[in-house]
Amino acid sequence: METQGANVDFVLGKTLPEPKDAPLFDLEQFNIEDLNDEDYHNLPDNDLTEELLYCVQEVGALKEVEGKSVYVKGADCEASLKDIHRFIRRDSRCTVRLALGKWEFLQKELLPLLLSQTKDKRLSFLILILLVDLTELPDPNDRERDCRTKDQVLSCLQSYKHAFLSSAVLSVLMVHVAECLQKEGEARTERHNQMIELILILLKHLLKISEPLQTIRAGNELHRDLQKRLIIAFKEANVLDSFVYLTQDMTSPISKKLGLDFLDIFYTIFKQCRAKVLVETCLLYTSDAADE
């Protein structure tokens, strides 16, 4: 079954106009060699945090435009995001991840930037790289970090997962997927496949973030039933449909490359409940929402 250049009504429920893409980044451009190992590891935590905070402040800010709050990117937005990416990739002590989690960088900066810069494909590509960075689970075999640090990182990840319950955020991700799939022939490049790959890896990361323990006892109702709520959000934003669409033809280059990731995604979705129960839950939730 041919999927490249196909109509993607199944993904979005509508046909998109042909986008005029800005140039996309290549993943290979994002190396971290510009950040010297010795300089990084010799930075005291306070100095490192100051450097990181400066980069975060340069990304952008909320501003009032015609009576509405709009997230406006900063003049050095792209360069600052690249620097933050390098800091994250060198973050062997979790100092950077915990600081960004404490500042709610993903919720207050990255996601508003993603929503406000949908047409800027170059910037969106870079934002997606950072979202993948931040939602990546810590290595379970890493014995150098103490339990408290791992718990703090997991708490940040659970907050990130909650942020993606937003239908607006998931819809923007699906728009990017659909626009890449609509490219035909030579217009469909490896960079468009990389865009799809980043989004799917991001969605897989979110699914694999574990449920918080004893949320009710801790008084954290926001994080209750996160996995179920995320899957329902996926259903409403047509994310589940996109998984099915992309796996119709497993001979396509993108499907071949991400085959194991798709298996991981479907296993994670269905490992805690049967397909019938999941479908019934989604239908019940949709019906309840419509009644309200």
What are the helix and strand counts (H, E) for the chain? 16, 2
Which residues contact residue 27 at a Cβ distance below 8 angstroms, ignoring those fewer than 6 apart?
129, 194, 198
CA distance to 12, 53, 54, 76, 107, per residue, from 81 (Å)? 29, 12, 11, 9, 15
- Residue at 108: amino acid letter: K
Instruction: Note the pLDDT of residue 10.
Output: 42
Beta strand 68-73 with 60-65: parallel, antiparallel or unpaired?
A: antiparallel
pTM for the full model?
A: 0.82
The predicted structure's pLDDT at residue 273: 72
Estimate to the nearest angstrom the gap between the alpha carbon of 10 and the chain centroid.
Answer: 22
Distance, in Å, from the CA atom of 286 to the CA atom of 21, rounded to the nearest integer, reads: 34
Instruction: Specify the DSSP element, H or E, that contains 65.
Output: strand 60-65
CA-nearest of 181, 170, 189, 134 to 24 is: 189
Tens-level pLDDT at each residue, the chain (292 residues): 344 444 455 444 444 444 444 455 555 454 444 444 444 455 556 678 899 999 999 999 999 888 888 999 999 999 999 999 999 988 878 889 999 999 999 999 999 999 999 999 999 999 999 999 999 998 777 766 666 788 899 999 999 999 999 999 999 999 999 999 988 778 888 889 899 999 999 999 999 999 876 544 454 566 678 998 999 999 999 999 999 999 998 888 888 899 999 999 999 998 877 767 666 666 666 555 545 5
